[in-house]
A and B are shown apart, each in its own frame.
Chain A
Amino acid sequence: MLRVDVDKQLGAFSLSAKFEIAHGAGALFGSSGSGKTTVVNMVAGLLRPDRGRIEIDGDVLFDSEARIDQPPHRRGIGYVFQEGRLFPHMNVRANLDYGRWMSGRKRHKAVFERVVELLGIGHLLARRPGGLSGGERQRIAIGRALLMQPRLLLLDEPLASLDSDRKAEIFPYLERLRDEAGVPMIYVSHSPEEIRRIATVVVLLDNGRVARIGGTEILGASHSEFA
């Protein structure tokens, strides 16, 4: 269970969001500029809310009143960025191992191989990110976040920088991830089609406010309005 109740002023943009997402696949939906990335950055600890509280499974990540603010590296939240953000100076294997390496865990061959198989990236392990296609990079970014064994996976528009063929290539992997990996995830997107295929609970953001929370049926009504 992820509980978010935050306020943040960023220049002229003001965000004030309060919602809960139970375990499983949740989604943040809204047009660009509605505050989706701002919210996930605050959950990951990359952006500090002006006020509020964020907790996950009863563990308080941020609380302005209790002056709690766990740094991102202690939150244990996997984050797949829109642009991948693979480390250019490491090969794919080192990128995938980075989270395990930082947490000091021992290599677990079966876990590694399962994720590599799940994402179909076995043939890329020795390559450097610079020479890979956008779709390959994004799969590796997902694998990298997954292999840190996070308690929550944030996917911020993971397909936005890809063309429709690449999207079709990655989507089955995302669905397998949801069904097989057993990690709760928050999928951020402005595409109702993507969210319908992935999520069960949808938080609809509009101009920094939570407009609606519900099942994927709330996307239908707002389709013409937001997409």
Chain B
Amino acid sequence: MFELTAEEWTAIRLSLRIAAVATFAALPFGIATGWLLARKDFWGKSLLDSIVHLPLVLPPVVTGYLLLISFGRRGFIGSFLYDWFGFAFSFRWTGAALACGVMGFPLMVRAIRLSIEAIDQRLEAAASTLGASSIWVFATVTLPLAMSGLIAGMVLCFAKALGEFGATITFVSNIPGETQTISAAIYTYTNIPGGDAAAGRLVLIAIALALVALIVSEWFARRAGQRYHGS
């Protein structure tokens, strides 16, 4: 039962790669957005907040469709990227990473924002009197103190990306070896006669990956907590 076929291995490797790329590509935007929402007051802030959270509440198929009409080969952003850089998202694993990144983004921003809001801003003021410009204050005080939230946000985004299905399949379809992630492969196997065993194996793999992600994030969060309160 636990002999995985080449196709199943491909789906697992692809899922991990897509989720990792989605997480790391989303990170700089997640930090910037989390910081903006935590610290700045500006016109349109609640609108930005809503747009960031939209993928969380929209049906994933709607998010996927919006990605298709904007980042698809004929979409207004997609055609520009293709004409100028020869770079395409549609029906490619990069498109799957984009869809997963968008879907995981709200979870990442939320965790980062909360951890930045929890930082005592008086520490940042102290750093500035010691000669740190705002960029250095951010790099040496804000970011390290937000590290537990940063890691929690990355793990959440990664886990969400691993399980993403609706937006990905709408945007980049379900192509084995290119866009067929674990979720898409399970969906395929449950639709073909005799696919139950393969689906079951992938289901167990999905559960194991999710558990590992949760344990890792818990461990990092606890370690970050100890660092500040121990001696």
Contacts and interface: CB of A to CB of B under 8 A. Distances in A.
Interface of A: 44-46, 71-79, 81, 83, 85, 87-89, 98-99, 102-103, 127-128, 130-132, 144-145, 148
A150 to B, nearest CB: 9
B132 A73 contact: yes
Contacts of B123: 85, 87-88
B126 interface: yes
Contact of A128 (B122, B125, B127, B231): B231
B126 A102 contact: no
Contact of B144 (A74, A85, A89): A89
Contacts of A76: 131
B231 A46 contact: no
B40 interface: no
A4 B133 CA distance: 24
Contact of A89 (B130, B227, B231): B227
Contact of B231 (A81, A102, A130, A144): A130
6 contacts: A45-B128, A71-B133, A79-B126, A81-B126, A88-B227, A145-B130
Contacts of A99: 130-131
B224 to A, nearest CB: 9
A130 B229 contact: yes
A148 B128 contact: no
A98 B129 contact: no
Contacts of A130: 228-231
Contacts of A148: 130-131
A79 B130 CA distance: 8
Contacts of B122: 81, 83, 85
Contacts of A85: 120, 122-123, 125-126
Given A83-B122, A102-B136, A127 B231 contact: yes
A87 B144 CA distance: 10
Interface in B210-231: 227-231
B129 A79 contact: yes
Nearest to A85: B126
Contacts of A83: 122
Nearest to A46: B125
A72 B129 contact: yes
Nearest to A149: B131
Interface string B102-134: 000000000000000000101101111111110
Contacts of A81: 122, 126
Given A79-B129, A81-B126, A89 B136 contact: no
A75 B132 CA distance: 11
B231 A77 contact: no
Contact of A71 (B128, B130, B230, B231): B128
Interface in B133-147: 133, 136, 140-141, 144-145
Interface string B76-88: 0000000000000
A78 B141 CA distance: 18
A12 B23 CA distance: 48
A73 B231 contact: no
Nearest to A131: B231
Contact of A77 (B129, B133, B141, B229): B129
Contacts of A44: 129
Nearest to A126: B231
B141 A73 contact: no
B200 to A, nearest CB: 45
A130 B228 CA distance: 6
B231 A132 contact: yes
